[in-house]
Structure 1
Amino acid sequence: MGTIRRTVLPLPLVMGMHLLCLLSIGNAEDPYLFFEWHLTYGTISPLGVPQQGILINGQFPGPEINCTSNNNIVVNVFNEIDEPLLLTWAGIQLRKNSWQDGTPATMCPILPGHNYTYKFQVKDQIGSYIYFPTTALHRASGGMGILKVHSRPLIPIPFDNPAEDHAILLGDWYNKGHKTLKRILDSGRSIGKPDGIQINGKSNKVGDASVEPLITMEAGKTYRLRVCNVGMRLSVNFRIQDHAMKLVEMEGSHTVQNEYESIDIHVGQCMSILVTADQTPKDYYFVASSRFFKQVLTSVATIRYANGNEPASPQIPLPPPENSVGIAWSINQFRSFRWNLTASAARPNPQGSYHYGKINITRTIKLSNSRQVVDGKLRFAVNGVSHVDGETPLKLAEYYGKADQVFKYDLVKDEAERGDKVVVAPSVKNATFRNFVEIIFENQEKTIQTWHLDGYSFFAVAIEPGTWTPEKRQNYNLLDAVSRHTIQVYPNSWAAIMTTFDNAGMWNLRSDMKERAYLGQQFYFSVVSPALSLRDEYNLPATQELCGIVKDLPRLALYT
């Protein structure tokens, strides 16, 4: 991954920004980082087949954002492809600021030939996150990268500083390209199985000549690898020949430092491992293979020791079993993931909510995913509602008091609904500000699911096979469940999370499997502060684009 190209600004603007920086210092404001990104088409070959990809500053994967907790991030995005697009910052808790979330319900898309400047703060966060396009099927062609949030220098991390810090973006890949995949879905069909697995934009098989290693390590040193699943559909298991992997961070939380021979990582998830170069200096394979899928897809990359001159052994470590025992294996691994409560790090808001096991639940929401055919076309639904995006972002319609012209609230009920009837409509669910809730994901399908919630971290307290009942709460981890933003649900199983709706705005709860999200398996939570105060939510930004039925309306400042 290359370095980020920074904006070259004219002298008057530089002087103005210098004055702004002086004012920021005087006000003890957190530092600003400025980036300029140009999204273009270019030829890429993640599986060895040349195809049109979406590049950022000529790169795939895109540039890394390296920042520190509480930094202010300003990214000027130039759309130089031929379709409208948006980028989202998955897992970044945009406090009071769903305006920058980059989803079709919160923002107008960036039109071809136009640019938009995202402005947000990585408030009280550390860890590993990804950004990617949310529009159409653009994620299938690239436009994605990693966002690293480091701890502030005076806050110790619970492990020695690694020799190097590397990002590994892996996941399933299709050779068809985003336009073809979108046409398939729009015609009412499924995009089918992926063609392979890519690792940082490349795919190799055992025995392939490796021109460039994924990582070069020096004997005796320890390295941090931030591994993220940026695929469209498949869970992946990764492992490293002859090397133990120590898990130290997951989606913004330091974890209890257990060692693993292999780890499952589901779509949309990120985690950090430490690997020590403690073996004979030679090449070793980093192996990634699909999970819970009939056909096992495998790709490898080379990890090289400096001064090593032997190729990697062709005997690669095997993935876990692919049957019911495999589900049990994965559930047990999930249960082994624990939050490191002794580590010095940013805590989720409100402060003290990490004592979540002592907070009374005010609401239980049960959600069931389903796959159905509606008017001859494939759709996916949540509690019988299949979401569609319209011309007017739902957040803008709500802000201008025109929600009733665009959508109906609470089509998705709190009780899981199953059956043949599906409502296809924009889907927004009301949530009470600062309520502490539990959400139960029930999966009665034969395929694994992954869910993501924008704007929040939640406590992933349980995953079990079978059907959820209130008695299952006695099996919850109410002490040190990892605070994160994605949760997987295995076939014919359920998962439970807990969170506080303390972040006002409109926030997307979606399947992280892009086909399912595109065809309706998502909805939005509307979280409104009764005080209508700037303390709780920002006003419409002055630079925000307006579109749809609010396009020509005057800009309003509702909050004071």
Structure 2
Amino acid sequence: MDRVTYSLFLACLFLWTSSSVVRSEDPYWYFTWNVTYGIASPLGVPQQVILINGQFPGPNINSTSNNNIVINVFNSLDEPLLFHWSGVQQRKNSWQDGVAGTNCPIQPGANFTYKFQVKDQIGSYFYYPSLGLHRAAGGFGGLRINSRPLIPVPYADPEDDYTVLIGDWYTKSHTTLKKFLDTGRSLGRPEGVLINGQNAKGDGSDKPLFEMKPGKTYKYRICNVGLKDTLNLRIQDHLLNLVELEGSHTVQNAYDSIDVHVGMCLTVLVTANKKPRDYYMIASTRFSSALTTGKGIIRYSNGKGPASPDIPVAPIGWAWSLNQFRSFKWNLTASAARPNPQGSYHYGQINITRTIKLVNSASRSNGKLRYGLNGVSHVDTDTPIKLAEYFGIPDKVFKYNSISDNPTGAATTLTVQPNVLTVTYRNYVEIILENHEKSIQSYHLCGYNFFAVAIEPGTWTPDKRKSYNLLDAVSRNTIQVFPKSWAAIMLTFDNAGVWNLRSEMAENRYLGQQLYISVLNSERSIRDEFNMPPNCLLCGAVKDLPPPQQYA
């Protein structure tokens, strides 16, 4: 066994062995979280929120590429809980993904320890509680993965590094909102927009969210952690220089404002080169009949004077947002953590082995609103899909491949059942996301980055491949699909496990607009996928079964 293989062996042994501690060459970071309810008034109305160690939003996780993260979560809520690490690829390790299709929930009064490595990644991400509508109550926070010192970034070190969590917000509790959906109602319009859990009043009493020294440049890591609205972010009189998008360094274009779609994260540099005073950071809803705006104060350290009440307006229409998407380009000259073949510079030259078209639609089943993909509205099972597969009883829990790769159009009725696709390990696949609805969509794929090669109006046909960006499309993990439009992504399914592809719109996801992709390797080797961890929670049909034979 060579030295590299032995080091990897020791790292895996630490992760899966609870009775001993083995150190690898990569650092470990340990966290203990107590998750509770609390009362806060982010929009001036007292309401129940989810706190992590008493904080709303939750604490930042600050890590560096290849670090090992160990988080012991104590569930002090009155209902089951899971945490999802949005954008963290979890190489060979869907066991730690923290969604209903891969993990049994942490029961009230119990705890569970997540153990994962942020392997070969950089960028700005976030975590959140993934069950039900918990995200509507908080429990989210920023997750940074910094570049290792030996791998340079394509810009000078900033003066400071700030996390910006923006999102629409409801004053109703997450349990009330869940009841709305369970009884056939919609969530309706949010009451406000928050920036890091706050919304400035503008009456002179607001404390600054961030402070900048004149002449210095600052990094702002921005994530849309909301439930349904694309938000346009801007800072009075300042340009936003885009440098990173979901793990990829980008060509550094400067923008007056940037649309941040639900679930999306990006990083900008902002230079404090204006008159010393306060300035508003503004996040306002897009593609909505009712404009809702949230504000926060950025203060110059030697500033004198309040922020101007003249708020710069957001752009109108989705054509502007589409053109902005087209301006995002991958920085091909920058060094970065690049897992191959996902990080290949030559993705446009790889032969496509399969095309999967996913068409979203909405209908009513037994009088209740449901959303679906290719005619199936996903429903979670009592036994997580990953566990049923690992224990060899998938037939008792769900059926594979109940949808077609090439539907003829949006379904007028939906079948309510688990929606699980199989994909051949290491195949290069094209996925078309086609939106026949009048509302914007946003999709996220767990466990992977993909190349976002096109978004166009109309319906997709094979000749549309002529419009693909096959040179410098950004490698990312979320993509928006505008009304009556389609989007195309391409990726190699080289990460074995069970992975969730979902709408990031909370209402759509909860009511079935998601599916799971099972990436199986017939060899069932530890080389390609980790075994079930010793502390894995068991539930449903596998609760009392003996553990299966481990991968060799």
Could you tell me the TM-score, scaled by structure 2's length? Answer: 0.95
Q: CA deviation at 1:48?
A: 1.6
Alignment partners' CA distance in 1, 2:42 and 2:126:
18
- Structure 1 residue aligned with 2:468: 476
- Structure 2 residue aligned with 1:217: 212
* Amino acid in structure 2 at the alignment position of 1:296: L
Alignment partners' CA distance in 2, 1:498 and 1:284:
40
Alignment partners' CA distance in 1, 2:413 and 2:235:
47
Deviations 1:333-384 (A, max 9, x none): 0011011111111013337633100100000010111111111000001010
Pick aligned residue for 2:359 from 368, 377, 381: 368
Task: State the SS of the aligned residue for 2:325.
Answer: helix
- Structure 2 residue aligned with 1:231: 226
Equivalence map 1:79-478=2 (5 Å): 79-205=75-201, 207-321=202-316, 326-350=317-341, 353-416=344-407, 417-478=409-470
Identity %: 63
Alignment partners' CA distance in 2, 1:411 and 1:202:
44
Q: CA deviation at 1:204?
A: 2.4
Contact 1:48 1:202 in 2 (8 A): no
Alignment partners' CA distance in 1, 2:279 and 2:435:
38
Contact 1:347 1:354 in 2 (8 A): no
* Amino acid in structure 2 at the alignment position of 1:501: F
- Structure 2 residue aligned with 1:552: 544
* Amino acid in structure 1 at the alignment position of 2:100: P
Alignment partners' CA distance in 2, 1:29 and 1:58:
33
Q: CA deviation at 1:211?
A: 2.8
Pick aligned residue for 1:534 from 518, 522, 526: 526
Task: State the SS of the aligned residue for 1:168.
Answer: strand
Alignment partners' CA distance in 2, 1:356 and 1:445:
30
Alignment partners' CA distance in 2, 1:251 and 1:100:
20
Name whichever of 339-348 and 259-268 sits farther off: 339-348
Contact 1:45 1:201 in 2 (8 A): no
Equivalence map 1:458-537=2 (5 Å): 458-537=450-529
Contact 2:391 2:547 in 1 (8 A): no
Alignment partners' CA distance in 1, 2:208 and 2:340:
40
Deviations 1:103-154 (A, max 9, x none): 1110100000000000000000000011001111101001100110000111
Task: State the SS of the aligned residue for 2:405.
Answer: coil
Deviations 1:255-306 (A, max 9, x none): 1000000000000001110000000100111111000000011111111111
* Amino acid in structure 2 at the alignment position of 1:301: G
Q: CA deviation at 1:210?
A: 3.9
* Amino acid in structure 2 at the alignment position of 1:286: M
Alignment partners' CA distance in 2, 1:60 and 1:392:
31
* Amino acid in structure 2 at the alignment position of 1:147: L
Alignment partners' CA distance in 2, 1:68 and 1:302:
29
Alignment partners' CA distance in 1, 2:542 and 2:411:
36
Contact 1:89 1:102 in 2 (8 A): yes
Name whichever of 475-484 and 347-356 sits farther off: 347-356
- Structure 2 residue aligned with 1:6: none
* Amino acid in structure 1 at the alignment position of 2:354: R
Name whichever of 429-438 and 548-557 sits farther off: 548-557
* Amino acid in structure 2 at the alignment position of 1:552: D
- Structure 1 residue aligned with 2:8: none
RMSD: 1.4
Deviations 1:447-497 (A, max 9, x none): 000000000000000001111111111111101111000000000011000
Closer, same or farther in 2 for the Cα pair 1:520/1:352, shift >3 Å? closer
Contact 2:204 2:306 in 1 (8 A): no
Contact 1:368 1:441 in 2 (8 A): yes
Alignment partners' CA distance in 1, 2:97 and 2:340:
18
Deviations 1:11-49 (A, max 9, x none): xxxxx99x94xx52xxx5311111001100001222121
Alignment partners' CA distance in 2, 1:330 and 1:287:
17
Specify every segment of 5 or more residues in structure 2 that has no aligned partner in the other structure, as ranges: 1-16
Name whichever of 28-37 and 427-436 sits farther off: 28-37
Task: State the SS of the aligned residue for 1:408.
Answer: coil
Q: CA deviation at 1:188?
A: 1.4
Closer, same or farther in 2 for the Cα pair 1:365/1:496, shift >3 Å? same
Alignment partners' CA distance in 1, 2:181 and 2:375:
19
Could you tell me the TM-score, scaled by structure 1's length? Answer: 0.94
Deviations 1:50-96 (A, max 9, x none): 10000000001101000000001000000000000100001101011
Contact 1:285 1:300 in 2 (8 A): yes
Alignment partners' CA distance in 2, 1:61 and 1:513:
20
Contact 2:446 2:500 in 1 (8 A): yes
* Amino acid in structure 1 at the alignment position of 2:366: D
Q: CA deviation at 1:329?
A: 1.0
Alignment partners' CA distance in 2, 1:33 and 1:539:
22
Closer, same or farther in 2 for the Cα pair 1:117/1:318, shift >3 Å? same
Contact 2:76 2:108 in 1 (8 A): yes
Task: State the SS of the aligned residue for 1:372.
Answer: strand
Alignment partners' CA distance in 1, 2:279 and 2:339:
38
* Amino acid in structure 2 at the alignment position of 1:338: K
Specify every segment of 5 or more residues in structure 1 that has no aligned partner in the other structure, as ranges: 1-15
Alignment partners' CA distance in 1, 2:41 and 2:360:
34
Alignment partners' CA distance in 1, 2:516 and 2:403:
10
Q: CA deviation at 1:165?
A: 0.3
* Amino acid in structure 1 at the alignment position of 2:327: S
Contact 2:361 2:412 in 1 (8 A): no
Alignment partners' CA distance in 1, 2:92 and 2:72:
21
Contact 1:78 1:114 in 2 (8 A): yes
Number of paired residues? 535
Contact 2:362 2:412 in 1 (8 A): no
